[in-house]
């Protein structure tokens, strides 16, 4: 409940003017793309010069991503109008569901209730997930569907798992990283079972391959069918080329080409960064900032932010991911726990693709790409502190609270 309150607090802020209309409310970071895309889906006007102002009503001008996440945003605007409560409602709901899904994922990985509560609490106090659980972007939607899909897989609900992951792919095409997570889980399970003579690794490999194959097949079918429906009802539209994409194959090809062209051969510039920098919280992103000046004796003596939305993680979580991952990998390698296998697999399966794309293909990347990685981070860090003495855990909890307060976007109770 505290996390929900922290995200709802001053939901209509910040404003660029008197906030008499929806257009007076400032859009935070990539909301300028997704909110404007949702506006055109709903038939609301987009001001000239803003993204997608020339997109036909009813079409999705943000064709580089599937439509489903923007339909969630558009649904909120249908209910509450072209205002922050409308375009941020879906993110608020998804942010709350993400915390519940975190708990369920850990329980599905055979973690105890207290460990699950700890992992969910880490998500609740992490600035990156708090911000994305408040602003109208796609990342929080896809991470909820990914967690649900993996949790269902761990419960051997392979058809439901595939359907959930297929839906996730219709939100944002980082969802396929979840399949690499599942491959790593199955590989570590085979290693765990190969230590004894019975049943040996071959039956485990066969069982895992069948389980994964069913999940993957259902996911692909769900993705193609749902994207077909989306492309027919809310067609993707490329405003630069003036082209519609009305079937899942041409649309997927367009999304692939768009992502492939996002490269930085000379290295990251601006807000971009290398994936390995994220592990040290380097290159945080200024999503939105409002400063106030301090005067003394008629002279300006300082400037400080009263509103500051940042793409940055709670440092007392992210700085512990490497020792936490090392502990989890050691436990997984020694055939100890399903929980260690899942936590390790999530971290590796969602993070390493970013490293490969950046290192081998010069893919432009940003710190907020860590959003899908963070559930694994919470798992391994929570397990790390479960093994430490209680005084150390209490001290760390105090540090977490300090990190949360330091990064919280609103620096004054008035919000101004």
Q: Which residue has the tokens 């989306």?
A: 230
Q: What is the mean pLDDT of the chain?
A: 92
Q: If you compute the radius of gyration of the chain from its CA atoms, what whole number of angstroms results?
A: 22
Is 156 within 8 Å of 137 (Cβ atoms)? no
pLDDT (tens digit per residue) in 215-230:
999 999 999 999 999 9
> What pLDDT does residue 314 have?
98
pLDDT band for 302, please (50, 70, 90 cuts).
confident
6 or 277, greater pLDDT: 277
Would you state the structure tokens that stand for residue 182, as one six-digit string? 């599942």
pLDDT at 3 over 70: no
In a domain, 300, yes or no: yes
**Cβ neighbours, 10 Å, residue 80:** 14
Q: Mark 359-370 as b/e (b = at least 16 C-beta within 10 Å).
A: eeeebbbbbbbb
d(CA 311, CA 43): 30
Per residue in 198-211, pLDDT tens? Answer: 567 788 899 999 99
What's the pLDDT tens digit per position in 109-161?
999 999 999 999 999 999 999 999 999 999 999 999 999 999 999 999 999 99
Q: How far is 168 from 171, CA to CA, in rounded Å? A: 5
DSSP for 371-406, written as a single string: TTTHHHHHHHHHHHHHTS-HHHHHHHHHHHHHHHHH
Residue 56 has pLDDT above 80, yes or no: yes
Query: How many residues are recorded in the chain?
Result: 416
Environment class of residue 277 by beta-carbon count within 10 Å: exposed (0-12), middle (13-18) or buried (19+)?
middle
Residues paired with 286 in a beta bridge: 310
Is 9 domain-assigned?
A: yes
In a domain, 222, yes or no: yes
Provide the pLDDT confidence category of residue 414 given band limits of 50, 70 and 90.
Answer: very low
**Domain ranges, residue 237:** 2-407
Q: Would you say residue 414 lies in a domain? A: no
* In the predicted structure, residue 195 carries a pLDDT above the cut 70: no
3-state class (DSSP) for residue 345? helix
Structural domain count of the chain: 1
Rounded Cα–Cα distance for residues 152 and 163 (Å): 10
Secondary structure of residue 200 in the 3-state scheme: coil
303 has a pLDDT exceeding 50: yes
User: How far is 325 from 39, CA to CA, in rounded Å?
Assistant: 42
pLDDT surpasses 90 at 176: yes
Tens-place pLDDT, residues 310-326:
999 999 999 999 999 99
> Could you tell me the pLDDT band of residue 415, with boundaries at 50, 70 and 90?
very low
Model confidence band, residue 186 (pLDDT cutoffs 50, 70, 90):
very high
Mean pLDDT of 341-363: 97
Residue 212 lies in a domain: yes
Question: Is 60 in contact with 245 (CB distance < 8 Å)?
Answer: no
CA-nearest of 229, 298, 272, 247 to 364 is 272
Share of the chain above pLDDT 90, in %: 79
DSSP H or E segment with residue 250: helix 248-260
Residue at 215 is within a domain: yes
Residue 319 included in any domain: yes
The reply to whether 413 falls in a domain is: no
């Amino acid at each position: 409940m505290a996390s929900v309150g922290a995200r709802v607090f001053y939901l209509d802020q910040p404003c660029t003017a008197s906030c008499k209309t929806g257009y007076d409310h400032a859009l935070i970071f990539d909301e300028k793309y997704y909110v404007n895309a949702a506006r055109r889906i709903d038939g609301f006007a987009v001001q000239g010069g803003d993204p997608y102002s020339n997109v036909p009503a009813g079409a999705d001008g943000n064709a580089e991503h599937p439509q489903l996440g923007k339909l969630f945003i558009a649904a909120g605007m249908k209910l509450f109008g072209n205002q922050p409560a409308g375009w941020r409602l879906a993110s608020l709901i998804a942010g709350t569901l993400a915390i519940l899904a975190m708990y369920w994922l850990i329980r599905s990985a055979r973690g105890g209730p207290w460990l699950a509560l700890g992992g969910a609490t880490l998500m609740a106090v992490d600035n990156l997930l708090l911000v994305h659980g408040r602003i109208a972007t796609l990342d929080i939607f896809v991470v909820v569907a990914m967690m649900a899909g993996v949790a269902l897989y761990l419960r051997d609900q392979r058809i439901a798992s595939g359907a959930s992951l297929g839906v996730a792919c219709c939100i944002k095409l980082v969802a396929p990283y979840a399949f690499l997570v599942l491959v790593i889980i199955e590989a570590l399970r085979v290693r765990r079972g190969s230590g004894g003579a019975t049943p040996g690794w071959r039956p485990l490999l066969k069982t895992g391959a069948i389980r994964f194959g069913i999940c993957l097949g259902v996911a692909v079918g769900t993705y193609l069918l749902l994207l077909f429906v989306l492309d027919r009802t809310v067609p993707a539209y490329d405003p630069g080329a003036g082209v519609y994409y009305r079937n899942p194959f041409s649309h997927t090809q367009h999304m692939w080409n768009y992502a492939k062209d996002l490269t930085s051969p000379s290295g990251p510039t601006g807000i971009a960064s290398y994936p390995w920098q994220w592990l040290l919280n380097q290159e945080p992103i200024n999503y939105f900032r409002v400063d106030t000046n301090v005067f003394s004796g008629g002279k300006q003596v300082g400037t400080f932010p009263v509103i500051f939305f940042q793409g940055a993680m709670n440092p007392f979580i992210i700085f512990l991911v490497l020792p936490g991952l090392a502990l989890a990998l050691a436990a997984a390698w020694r055939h100890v726990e399903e929980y260690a296998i899942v936590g390790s697999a999530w971290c590796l399966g969602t993070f390493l693709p970013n490293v490969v794309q950046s290192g081998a293909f010069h893919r432009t990347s940003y710190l907020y790409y860590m959003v899908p990685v963070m559930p694994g981070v919470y798992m391994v860090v929570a397990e790390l502190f479960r093994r430490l003495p209680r005084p150390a855990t209490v001290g760390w909890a105090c540090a977490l609270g300090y990190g949360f307060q330091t990064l919280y976007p609103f620096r004054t109770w008035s919000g101004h």
